[in-house]
Amino acid sequence: MKKLYSSNLFDIFYKLVILLIIAKAISLVILWYLPSDGIDFSIEKNYKPKYQRVSFKNMLNAKEIHKIENKHISKISSSIENMVLKGLYGTKSKAFVIIALKKSADKTSIIGIGETYAGYTLKSVTISGAIFKKNSKDYVLNLKKLSPVLKSKDNIFEKPIKIQRKEINKYISNPKEIFKNISIIEIKNANETKGFKITRIKHNSIFVSFGLKVGDLMVKVNNIELKSYKNALDIYKKINKIDELEIVIIRNNQEMELRYEIN
């Protein structure tokens, strides 16, 4: 009888199949011990929505307000004694005030123009206060004057420090100059970066005039928490497009804010 296949060839083929099965089995065992996913970089959730410094004076059109004030002042008969004005907001078209009764000063209400509170109807809002109407008479309620919350000897926290754009550009084009004048180290709490601490500032360098001091811990810039070198570097890369800069520092265990205007 004639053979349909060569037993030698079949033997080789059989052995190769066995080897393939062994190889696959080994690779499956290896696969069992290997991670199934890679590492992907995710953006740290340290970004807080950008806020803008609000000046109520800017919101109220000064000229309009003066007109309103002059028009009304003559007619105003008296001021309201039993209420306290805690805040006001106004634009050309809309305005409202935050108001409370003196006896329960913590219980505030927000009243828009035309709305009534304790019998008084809000007529208009001025820079310094609000004008109410009751029984065809006008009453004025002035904004309570507050003393500044933060005071400092060198006055740096009260108004923004002005920086020349060319000064900034000088450091952008030559980053080494920064570290000749200032030394900063990353401060970590366990595995998390708390901020960047200033360890050295060359006297008579521009950084002294920026109001920075040795020991200051920079924790936030323009409301972005400095949780990594990346955060700091991102700000550095955008600095030539930034007009206003707010740096939150911790100095002597107190949180302070330094504001800069780049012109």
Taking the complex as a whole, the smallest distance from the CB of residue 192 to other proteins amounts, in Å, to 13
CB 186 within 8 A of CB 193: yes
User: DSSP string of 182-247?
Assistant: EEEEEEEETTEEEEEEEEEE-TTSHHHHTT--TT-EEEEETTEE--SHHHHHHHHHHGGG-SEEEE
Nearer to other proteins, 4 or 31 (CB): 31
The count of residues interacting with other proteins (CB under 8 A) is 28
Binding of residue 192 to other proteins (CB under 8 A): no
Nearer to other proteins, 151 or 176 (CB): 176
Taking the complex as a whole, the smallest distance from the CB of residue 44 to other proteins amounts, in Å, to 7
Distance of CA 75 to the CA centre of its chain: 44
Q: State phi, psi for 175 to the nearest 5 degrees.
A: -60, -25
Among positions 2, 5, 7, 41, the unique one binding other proteins when judged by CB under 8 A: 41
Q: Do the strands 78-79 and 104-112 form a parallel or antiparallel pair, or are they unpaired?
A: unpaired
Q: Specify the stretch interacting with other proteins by CB under 8 A; choose among 22-30, 104-112, 133-141, 252-260.
A: 22-30
Binding of residue 228 to other proteins (CB under 8 A): yes
Taking the complex as a whole, the smallest distance from the CB of residue 212 to other proteins amounts, in Å, to 23
* Tokens 């005071």 -> residue: 151
Binding of residue 57 to other proteins (CB under 8 A): no
Instruction: Pick left, alpha or beta for residue 114 (phi over 0 → left; psi -120 to 50 → alpha; otherwise beta).
Output: left
Among positions 37, 106, 154, 243, the unique one binding other proteins when judged by CB under 8 A: 37
Measure the CA–CA gap between 136 and 113, rounded to whole angstroms.
16
* Binding residues for other proteins (CB under 8 A): 15-16, 19-20, 22-24, 26-27, 30-31, 34-41, 44, 175-176, 228-231, 233, 237
